[in-house]
Amino acid sequence: MICKLCDNDYSGIRGIAMHLSRGHNVSSEHYYEKYILSSSDDVICKNETCNKRVNFINLNDGFNTYCSVLCAGNCKLALKKKRDTVWIRYGVDVITKSNEFKEKSKKTNLKKYGVEYPLQSNEIREKSKQTCLRKYGVDNVSQLEAVQIKKENTMLKNHGTKYWIGHKNTGKNSIRVKGILKSKNITYEQYDNSINDYVKYRRNVLSITRLQELETLKYSHKRGKSGITNSYQLDHKVSIKYGFENAIPPYIIGNIENLEFIPWMDNRKKSISCSMGIDELLNKIWRF
């Protein structure tokens, strides 16, 4: 690389960087910006919502594309490019949807834990409990007083009651359930015992789902019924059916990281399929 200040030739960027510092008292960043940089825009973060200056790497690579990991992950252009690449290679918009990824993930989990999905492993479940105990002093974050208060406040705000059990439209208070008890002349306990495991699992997931701050989700203000133009409905990215079949705890499937509002027609087409892999969901939930 030839120095544009004195025309001396250097074999690598380290050599010329030392030369600029010692011989000309010029930083590599200043030199690059003055003599090599093609556009002043190259020093600005490429995320369309940010205009911060990015960090300098070296004379060979120039400046970073983004100012932070957050901007890199939220850049619409980068996300679109990533989706397009995945679509071309695998025929899906998210890599975790591809059969190739699912099979590879299953094989890896079988090799590491002896099960197809991490949460089927007693070892992983125990590790999760121990992590909660170490960080918070309880084996489940739902046992924390702060979390319980937050849940109660969310229930009061959304439904006017602290607890979903006992709400006018749930359990034995449900109009539908009351109708079944009356028509079959049975008690609620008999009715509850007659429900299959999947229905009970789904009921638990939905009760947890209702505790989430759904109003913070995108398009929550467009929530409506099927058949209504521009109506959106709540969807579980990793479906409840998938969670039941793979022994995933209801609090995982009902977590807000697994929820999104999508157009009602898309929700109907999606049915019980998943728009996100379980590993991706767990990473989102446990990333903090």
Domain boundary among 101, 116, 131: 116
Nearest to 144 by CA among 135, 157, 153: 135
pLDDT at residue 169 tops 60: no
Residue 288: band (very low, low, confident or very high) from pLDDT cuts 50, 70, 90: very low
Domain boundary among 52, 74, 96: 74
Q: Classify residue 16 by burial, with Cβ atoms within 10 Å: 0-12, 13-18, 19+.
A: buried
Task: With beta carbons less than 8 A apart as the criterion, state whether 54 and 43 touch.
Answer: yes
Provide the sign of the torsion angle of the four alpha carbons 234, 238, 241, 244, taken in this order: negative
The tally of domains found in the chain comes to 2
Nearest to 43 by CA among 34, 33, 58: 33
pTM of the entire predicted model: 0.45
Residue 166: band (very low, low, confident or very high) from pLDDT cuts 50, 70, 90: very low
Instruction: Report pLDDT for 160.
Output: 62
- What H or E segment, with its residue span, contains residue 179? helix 175-184
Query: Averaging pLDDT over each range in 69-83, 106-120, 192-206, 250-264, which range is the top one?
Result: 250-264
Task: With beta carbons less than 8 A apart as the criterion, state whether 100 and 284 touch.
Answer: no
Does residue 2 fall inside a structural domain?
no
Token pair in block for residue 44? 């600005």
| Residue that has been written with the tokens 């008890």 in this structure | 181
**Domain match, 66 and 18 both:** yes
**Domain match, 69 and 84 both:** no
**Domain match, 60 and 25 both:** yes
The Cα–Cα gap between 124 and 110 comes to: 13
The Cα–Cα gap between 275 and 261 comes to: 12
Residue 172: band (very low, low, confident or very high) from pLDDT cuts 50, 70, 90: low
**Domain match, 89 and 55 both:** no
**Domain match, 19 and 51 both:** yes
**Domain match, 34 and 69 both:** yes
Three-class HEC string of 19-36: HHHHHCCCCHHHHHHHHH
Does residue 210 fall inside a structural domain?
no
Does residue 68 fall inside a structural domain?
yes
**Domain match, 39 and 23 both:** yes
Residue 25: band (very low, low, confident or very high) from pLDDT cuts 50, 70, 90: very high
**Domain match, 86 and 101 both:** yes
**Domain match, 104 and 62 both:** no
Does residue 84 fall inside a structural domain?
yes
**Domain match, 21 and 66 both:** yes
Does residue 32 fall inside a structural domain?
yes
In which domain, by residue range, is 22 found?
A: 13-74
Residue 173: band (very low, low, confident or very high) from pLDDT cuts 50, 70, 90: low
The separation between the first and the last C-alpha atoms of the chain, rounded to the nearest angstrom, is 44
Q: For all residues of the chain together, what is the average pLDDT?
A: 83
Residue 165: band (very low, low, confident or very high) from pLDDT cuts 50, 70, 90: very low
| Residue that has been written with the tokens 């960087």 in this structure | 17
Token pair in block for residue 104? 């590879």
Does residue 50 fall inside a structural domain?
yes
Instruction: Report pLDDT for 146.
Output: 81
**Domain match, 51 and 82 both:** no
- For 34, 131, 157, 259, 271, the CA distances from 171, given in Å and listed in that order, are 71, 33, 20, 23, 25
pLDDT at residue 234 tops 90: yes
Does residue 223 fall inside a structural domain?
no
Contacts of 172 (CB under 8 A, 6+ apart): 178, 181, 188
Does residue 109 fall inside a structural domain?
yes
| Residue that has been written with the tokens 């009760």 in this structure | 207
Nearest to 250 by CA among 208, 278, 199: 208
